[in-house]
Every structure is written in structure tokens, then in C-alpha cells.
Amino acid sequence: MESKIPVAILGATGTVGQKFVLLLQNHPWFEIRELAASPRSANKAYKNACSWKQDKPIPGLLRDKPLLEAGARLSSRILFSGMDSSVAGPIEEDYASRGHIVISNSKNHRMDPDVPIIIPEVNPDHFEITKKQRFIGAIITNSNCAIMPVAMVLAPLHRVFKVKWVQLSSMQAVSGAGYPGVPSYDILGNIVPFIEGEESKVETESQKILGQLNGDVIEPANFIVSAQCNRVPLIDGHTINLSIKFEEKPSPRQVRDILGTWKSLPQKKKLPTAPSSPIIVFEEENRPQPARDILLENGMAACVGRIRECPIGHIKMVVLSHNTIRGAAGAAILNAEAYVSLGYFQ
């Protein structure tokens, strides 16, 4: 790529916005040109408006960069949105109407009929539906952070054995709630067995992701998901206990072999943010673990372990991923790379 594509970050001061800032540093294809945030942050230097919570300092070139107000005119064509869902919907639509390509982490448009939920390893063909949108530009979303690794695991298995139903129980880190997130008095030494709106998202998004594009319609995959979502006192890393029933029963060894060798478009195209192995399969009984495994493949892999027979379904396992990288900012950046590499960005 001869020159880098300028990009903007919407919601740049938030948890996901900060992760965008870190992950886009020295990106071979994209260069941050603009940062946008809420009206109260507009015109402030990024370092003064942002309560920085990352494990690396704010990149030097962006520390003093003035923030624009989200909704202001931007010169960048590609916009990464980490805005809160309470404000994201109309702002993203407005930018798409002006010709911008909005790569969104927000939930607002995920279930719109003409907006794809993209995981490039799973359904890059769904980009095609953006041509049917009413916008001059486009809106593209990534999935909920808990369903991201689940959909990655289900995709290669569904193609071979056909999923009938999925039961999952999640243990989700506090960073998934943004900042300041869950009050310390509620979460320290505790588990909160409720995350508002989470279970409904987890129970519907995977079917759209694994569905078939038929003309102007994405037809959802025909399986059922039952979810129980819990907030646990970890900073990063969502762990999901997963039980699956298939139309054709696989053996644990078949499942391990399929998941451990699976590669797809991002790996074949060697996209900059793509993990070389999208799914890492552990043989150890006590892995994966958030403290040890979430940064494997730079946080972009789904980590899977304890693959065994299920007495109610067919197979059960443990799935882990980094919720603010593979489940949020990293996923959106990979979506943008796939969109560009497939020739949709002109």
C-alpha cells in the first residue's frame, strides 16, 4: 500500500477508543488523523480529556491532539466507532450518509437487516450487503464481545456437523462495562449474575453471523442459543463455558482437529491484525486462563480448552478471548483490513 489511509476514532476517550489508539499505532495501512469524543471533551487536548487506563502511555503524537466533537465534519473516510450505544446510533448513520465507512463496535445497528455483523474468518461474504444500504458510505459492525469467540468456534464446526443448539454461561471481565464500569463495592470478591441487555445479544447475534447471504437478505442460521451472562472481578478476558448439540455427533478429537487447524481469509491474505492461528486449542486440563492466555496472538485469538463429551449435548468446552481486543477494537480493525483487502474501499 503506497500511502496510509487516514482514519478517525469516534469515542476516542472511552475504553474501546483508547484501545483503538494503541492498536492503530504504527499500523501499516491506517494512520490516525482525527479523534472525536463527546461535546464536553471537544477542543481539549487528548491527554487532558482522556482518563487513560491502558498499560502503555498515550502515544506521543496524540497526547496534545485537540479532540473534535463527534458529529463534526471529518476528512477521514474510515471511522472506527467506540462510542457508547446511548449516542452512537444517529451519529453513525449521519456519518455513513455523508459517505464515511463506519466500522462500529456499538450494538445499535447490529441487527439491522442491511448491516452485517462481520467476523472476517467467518463471514466476509456478508460485506456485500453494505451495497444495499441507504447510505453513500456504509456501516459495518463487529459482534458482542462475549459471542465473538463463540461464533469463531461454532463456524468451522457448524459447517461440518450442523449446530442444533448452544448453551453457554459467561464470566465477563469488568472492562466489558467500560469506564468507570461496575462499582468496586459491587464486584470485588463477588460475581454479579446479570449484565443488562447482554443475554439477548448473545442469544441472537451468532445466528446472523453464521447465516447465509441470500440476495438482499442475511438468513439466520437455524439453531438456538441459551445464555447466562455473569460479571466477574477480572480486568480483561471473557471466559465462556459452552455446551453444543449437533445434528451429527462429533468426537472430541474431531473437534480439536478441526478447531486447531482452522484458517480462513485473514490468514490467507496475511492481514496485519490477523492472528496466524485464529483458534488456539489447549490439551491441558486447566487451560485456557485469562491471566496466562488472553494476549496470545496479540489478543486476537479465541483460546479453547477442556473439549470433552457432554452428557446433555454432544460436546462441551471452555472458550476465552480478550474482550477489548478480539472482542472490540482489534475486531473492528481486522474488519477494516478485510473490507479494504477485498476491494470494497474505493
Is 100 labeled as catalytic in the residue annotation?
no
* CA atoms of 76 and 100, how far apart (whole Å): 8
* CA atoms of 168 and 228, how far apart (whole Å): 6
Cβ partners under 8 Å of residue 137, min gap 6 = 77, 95, 96, 97, 98, 99, 100, 101, 102
Query: Hey, which residues does 321 pair with through a beta bridge?
Result: 238
Q: Is residue 245 classed as helix, strand or coil in its secondary structure?
A: strand
User: How many CA atoms within 13 Å lie on the side-chain side of 310?
Assistant: 22
The DSSP string of 300-343 is TSEEEEEEEE-SSSSEEEEEEE-TTIIIIIHHHHHHHHHHHHTT
Cβ partners under 8 Å of residue 131, min gap 6 = none
* CA atoms of 154 and 45, how far apart (whole Å): 43
Q: Helices marked H in 45-192 — which ranges?
A: 46-49, 85-97, 147-161, 184-187
Q: Helices marked H in 24-104 — which ranges?
A: 46-49, 85-97
Q: Is residue 172 classed as helix, strand or coil in its secondary structure?
A: strand
Is 109 labeled as catalytic in the residue annotation?
no
Q: Is-contact 101 78, C-beta < 8 A?
A: yes
- Sequence length of the chain is 346
Report which of 129, 71, 111 is spatially closest to residue 95, judged by C-alpha positions: 71
* CA atoms of 340 and 337, how far apart (whole Å): 5
Which of 50, 145, 229, 303 is catalytic? The answer is 145
The DSSP string of 107-131 is STTTTSTTS-B--TTT-GGGGGGGG
Joined together, the cell numbers standing for residue 297 give: 496472538
Which of 238, 303, 314, 322 is catalytic? The answer is 238
Joined together, the cell numbers standing for residue 59 give: 502515544
User: Which residues are catalytically annotated?
Assistant: 145, 238
